[in-house]
């Protein structure tokens, strides 16, 4: 290879790294701004200085209670759940090389949701039990889907179709649970199913924060193998990647993140579906988009929650706003894939 070709390749790599750094930095700055807005805005708008003083431990009448008890837990729930949904969605879409292959579409979120609804309306369980049940149910769902789609050769199309079927079955289970539940339990279950940051409490957040802090570095550490898996099964195997082991590690980590996020905030619609494509469009190809996808997820959740709280006469849960954003994109994607003959 000539020196000019080497310099050209190196220049392209530097340009991709520079673009990744700029986009990721801008997404992080936007996320910080949205976090500040979540703490400042509410029924009463507090100066940012008072908010910072209250967070540092100073007792300020009205501010300390509102920020520490209501706004801070809501902001942290949106921050970590959005990051979890964004990273998990991008990981699934990359592993399976299909934009439809995200936890919302292939039934993983429905598995976690069915377990959570069962715990809420039948067992009247604590938040800790709901979290554990959601993670276990999410893992069982993905294992079941993976086994059914394995066959002699792993098939992405088979996995997606089986996942959609499992999702339909689990949604029917959720409807049945709501039908037989006591009348007083239905509002809390429905509020949870729409995806909401309302009522977030600090004592509920440690499992979500811990899982995200454990699983995110693992997925980022496997990002090189994740990019190779995107090339296809045979190509990844020929490059020395243990495809089954790598895929299982990535899927288990992603399922744990999305299940615990679902248990904490409910299934916030379309965040895991939108975050990856948006990050890929912003950063481009040739770079790991795990961190940008997570930050896009954060920005989607926090921005949608602010819109739901303050943009309309009535306040709407965050899941309704993200659903309004994601549904048109899903229709557009299905039309484009149909035109390309991919459906």
Residue 22, pLDDT score: 92
Three-state DSSP string of the chain: CCHHHHHHHHHHHHHHHHHHHHHHHHHHHHHHHHHHHHHHCCCCCCCHHHHHHHHCCCCCCCHHHHHHHHHHHHHHHHHHHHHHHHHHHHHHHHHCCCCCCCCCCCCHHHHHHHHHHHHHHHHCCCHHHHHHHHHHHHHHHHHHHHHHHHCCCCCHHHHHHHHHHHHHHHHHHHHHHHHHCCHHHHHHHHHHHCCCCCCCCHHHCHHHHHHHHHHHHHHHHCHHHHHHHCCCHHHHHHCCCCHHHHHHHHHHHHHHHHHHHHHHHCCCCCHHHHHHHHHHHHHCCCCCCHHHHHHHHHHHHHHHHHHHHHCCCCCCCHHHHHHHHHHHHHHHHHHHHHHCCCC
List, for residues 196-217, the tens digit of each pLDDT value.
Answer: 888 888 888 998 999 999 999 9
CATH number for the domain spanning 197: value is: 1.10.3470.10
pTM given for the model: 0.88
pLDDT bucket at 233, cuts 50 / 70 / 90? low
- Per the structure, the count of domains in the chain is 1
Give the domain extent around 322: 3-339
Q: Which range has the worst mean pLDDT, 82-86, 186-190, 292-296, 321-325?
A: 186-190
pLDDT at 73 over 60: yes
In this predicted model, which residue has the larger pLDDT, 52 or 153? 52
Burial class, 284, CB count within 10 angstroms (exposed 0-12 / middle 13-18 / buried 19+): middle
pLDDT bucket at 297, cuts 50 / 70 / 90? very high
Residue 81, pLDDT score: 94
Residue 33, pLDDT score: 95
Mean pLDDT of 301-330: 87
List, for residues 273-288, the tens digit of each pLDDT value.
Answer: 888 888 888 887 766 7
């Amino acid at each position: 290879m000539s020196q000019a070709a080497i310099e050209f390749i190196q220049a392209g790599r530097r340009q991709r790294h520079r673009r990744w750094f700029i986009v990721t930095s801008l997404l992080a700055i936007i996320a910080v701004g949205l976090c500040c807005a979540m703490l400042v805005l509410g029924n009463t708008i507090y100066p940012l200085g008072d908010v910072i003083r209250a967070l540092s431990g100073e007792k300020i009448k009205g501010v300390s209670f509102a920020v520490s008890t209501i706004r801070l837990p809501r902001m942290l729930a949106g921050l970590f759940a959005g990051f979890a949904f964004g990273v998990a969605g991008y990981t699934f879409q990359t592993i399976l090389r299909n934009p439809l292959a995200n936890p919302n579409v292939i039934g993983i979120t429905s598995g976690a949701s069915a377990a959570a609804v069962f715990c809420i309306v039948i067992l009247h369980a604590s938040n800790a039990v709901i979290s554990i049940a959601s993670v276990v149910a999410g893992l069982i769902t993905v294992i079941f889907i993976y086994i059914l789609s394995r066959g002699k050769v792993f098939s992405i199309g088979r996995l997606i179709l089986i996942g959609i079927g499992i999702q339909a079955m689990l949604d029917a289970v959720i409807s049945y649970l709501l039908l037989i539940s006591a009348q007083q339990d239905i509002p809390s279950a429905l509020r949870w199913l729409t995806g909401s940051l309302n009522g977030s409490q600090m004592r509920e957040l440690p499992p979500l924060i811990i899982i995200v802090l454990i699983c995110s570095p693992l997925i980022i550490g496997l990002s090189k193998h994740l990019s190779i898996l995107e090339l296809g099964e045979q190509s990844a195997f020929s490059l020395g990647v243990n495809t089954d082991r790598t895929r299982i590690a990535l899927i288990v980590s992603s399922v744990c993140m999305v299940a615990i996020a679902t248990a904490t905030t409910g299934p916030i619609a379309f965040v895991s579906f939108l975050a990856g494509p948006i990050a890929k469009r912003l950063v481009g190809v040739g770079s790991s988009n795990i961190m940008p996808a997570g930050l896009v997820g954060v920005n989607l959740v926090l921005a949608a929650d602010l819109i739901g709280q303050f943009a309309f006469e009535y306040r709407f849960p965050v899941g309704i706003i993200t659903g309004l954003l994601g549904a048109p994109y899903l229709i557009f994607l299905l039309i484009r894939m149909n035109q390309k003959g991919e459906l």
